[in-house]
Every structure is written in C-alpha cells, then in structure tokens.
Amino acid sequence: MAYEFLFDRGSTVHVVRLTSFWEISLFSVFTINRFTSNNHRRGSVWSNCLPEMQHPALIPTPKAKISRPVARKGLPDGRISTMASRRLIEMFRGRIIRRLVLFAILICLLFAGLQRTLAPTRPIPPTPALSPNGIPNFRRQAQFWNNLYDLLESNPPGVDAPKRLRRVGEIIFKPDASYARPDLLYMPDPDVELLRKSHQQVVQKIEANTARLRLVYEGGKRGIVSAATKRDLPTLLVSLRMLRQRGTRFPVEVFIASKSEYDDIVCGVILPGLNANCIVMSDILGVNPNYNVARYWLKSFAMLFSSFEQILWLDADCFPLHDAIEIFQSEPFTEIGLVTWPDFWVSSASPYFYNITSQPQPSLSERASTNGRQFLISKKTHAKTLLLASYYNYYGTMHYYRLLGQGAPGERRQRILPSRSLSS
C-alpha cells in the first residue's frame, strides 16, 4: 500500500507517494535541516489546502509508487509539479520534530527500564528497619550481601544429598589412641565429581580476592559476637552479666535472625546498658521466602557482618572466666589470627569431604574435633576462611553437615568454621 501526499500553493498542486514509514522518515531526516530555515523566512505556505481538509492529507492507496498530475477546479492550466520535497518537509516539519522528540524520549525510557531490569533484584533499603541502634556501615554490608548471595546461588552443589548409611557413634578423643576414619555415607562417583567442581569454583572465586567479596569491618576494633533466638535471650542476659562481672569490657554484638525473634525490651532497653547491641539479620539480608536464616546459618553469617575486625565468638550460654583481653593479646592469636578449642569427640568428617575439597586426610590422632561454641578469629587475616564457612553453612543442611559430621554429636554446632583454612 502506498501513501499519497497532496498539497498546493497558489495555482500548483503537488503529489508525492511513498510506500512505507521508513521512506517518510529517511526522507525527512535528510532534508529537515535544509528547509527549517526556509520556513522561517517564508512563513506558512499552506493557505490553499484542498477544500475537504483543514490540514495536509495522508491518503492510503493501493496503486503503484508513482507521481501523477492531480486536476483541481480553478487552477490555471492545471499545472502540476512532482518535485514537492521542499513543500512536503515544510508542511510536516512541526509534526516530524515532535514525533522525533517523542521517539527519543521513548528510547530513553526503554533503556532506563532495561537497566532497571538488569539491576540487582534485592534493593538496598536506606536504613535498618528493626535494629534499634542501627548497623555500622549498613549500606556497604547490604551491598556485600548482594555480592555474596550471587556467589552462593551461582554455585549450588547440583547433586542429591549424600545418603547416610548410619550415624557415627560417640567416640571420645584420646591422643594416644588409634582410630579408623568413619565412612558411613554413600555418594555415586558422578555426584562426587560434580560437587568437587562446584566447590572448586567457589574456592577459586574466593581466592581471586575481588573487591566484591571484601568483608566490611572497622579496622583494629575488637569485640564479642553472639547470636540468639528468642528462647536463648534469657540465657544470653545471664552470660553477659557474668562477662561484665569477670572484667571483660569489650562491646558485644548480638545477632537476631528476624522480627519474629526480636524482643523490644531486651534489645531496646537491657542490652544497651550492658554495652551490647542487637542487630537483626533480616535488616541486612532482606526478607526472602527462598531462604531461611536457620540457627547455625545465622551463627556463620553473624561473623561475616560483625563490625569488629577481631572477634571473640561466644555462644549464648558461654562466658570467659577472666578478662578476654588476655587471649586477644597472647599467642597463638597474635601470630596466626585464629584460635579454636577442642571438643570431646574424634573428628567425624567423611572421606568424601576430603575428596571433594581436594585435601589429604589427616590422621584422627592429630587433634580432636573443633568445638564451635567459642573461638577467636581475625577478619583481616582469615576473611577467606569465613567466606568459605558461609558456603559450607549455606548448603549445610543437605550436604556439608553430613559430609563433615555423618550424624555425630554436635554435628552442626562444631561445623561453623571449615576444616580448611584459606589465607587472606
């Protein structure tokens, strides 16, 4: 279908047919600058439009693309001009400019919408919603979580949970005894290889030491970190009072999972009087139905999001008998930045775990399993260790807790820190 443009000036009628919108657009773009200035000199030239129209006409016609004379009553000699480009542009100059401007605005809006679509789907709120005294470096912490979340979600195990044949028994550790490592899980070889590759990718990304995964903390600051559910809060208050009574004056950060675990009186009134601050983890992580801040997952993440560089972790029912400054200022912490305490039990990590993490299996007589109820760690020197621990705990329930514990006593509690330490 062709489009026929009809217009006149004086005694001459002009006709131009164009067959598509693109012909009109290209024709306009190439000639608009030339004839805009002419229009300023002449003024409007459309005083003698066809009687049935008040404005220029765009008439669809099925005829071929041609230029033909159009007779009009009253025109001397019926003179026809088919060279109408100048008059055509002058007629449509205003309309075309307006349409081009609108088209440019539309393109900008579409581009902005595309950028918004590609942006992170977890918007960062301007302030914490629940934490009564705020969260140090809140926006940086929330951005760090966005980056860590991408790492965790982009490297899932990709296999079914290891099948547990039976549970590990309670084997008390004795340094002079000889033990055989328990092997009570089953995994098909293809699953082991897939999980090994997934683990390797995570380690490589953590080892890359990019700014996206840089922990947020206040350099040189020491403090105590703990986590509590609503049920644990009374026990935590007793431990904090004993902590202060025994001479420890370090500030304390208490991490609460979400609003359902939050207590206004404890967090808003009692804890500030003990130089302690409640931090609600959902303020940082956001409310997402796809994940749940489980108790042991909360413990691992509390260390990541603490504002302290040097951390003494204490479970809600733990407190030191002496001023904690002594262990911060003593070896081995001053030398390596990490101190753990042994548990009663023999290590129960599965041989599959060492295969998946590409580590040699240590002798069970070297050391007992680690007690995760208290430990010292420097985020400056062991940031990568904490990042790897977050991966183990994020996928712990169905995979790594079984690989590390095989159903042993305190399986989840002792697995907050990984068996593998990455140097920062």
The dihedral sign for the CA sequence 337, 350, 400, 208: positive
Structural domain boundaries enclosing 36:
2-116
Residue found under tokens 């099948």: 163
What is the pTM assigned to this prediction?
Answer: 0.68
- The predicted structure's pLDDT at residue 17: 57
Mean pLDDT of 232-244: 95
Q: How many CA atoms lie within 13 A of 203 on its CB side?
A: 15
Tell me the pLDDT band of 233, cut-offs 50, 70 and 90: very high
Domain shared by 14 and 161, yes or no: no
12-21, 50-59, 89-98, 260-269: the lowest-pLDDT one: 50-59
For the chain, the 3-state helix, strand and coil shares in percent, each to the nearest 5, are 45, 15, 40
- The 57-61 sheet, strands edge to edge: 57-61, 2-9, 12-18, 80-81
Structural domain contains residue 126: no
Contact 326, 389 (CB under 8 A): no
Residues 6+ apart with CB under 8 A from 387: 148, 206, 213, 215, 304, 422
pLDDT at 194: 95
If one counts the domains in the chain, the total is 2
Residue 234: CATH number of its domain: 3.90.550
Residue 122 lies in a domain: no
Q: What is the CA radius of gyration of the chain?
A: 37
Q: Which amino acid is at 278?
A: C
Q: What local confidence, expressed as pLDDT, does residue 113 receive?
A: 53
Residues 111 and 157 in one domain: no
Grouping H, G, I as helix, E, B as strand and the rest as coil, residue 341 is: strand
Q: Are 317 and 235 in contact (CB under 8 A)?
A: yes
Do residues 175 and 70 both lie within one domain? Answer: no
Is 60 exceeded by the pLDDT of residue 237?
A: yes
State the pLDDT at residue 419.
55
pLDDT tens-place string over residues 173-209: 988 888 889 899 999 999 999 999 999 999 999 998 7
* CB atoms inside a 10 Å sphere around CB 284: 21
Residue 140: exposure state from Cβ atoms within 10 A (0-12, 13-18, ≥19): middle
Per-residue pLDDT of 262-308, as tens digits, reads 899 999 999 999 999 999 988 888 766 455 555 567 888 999 999 99
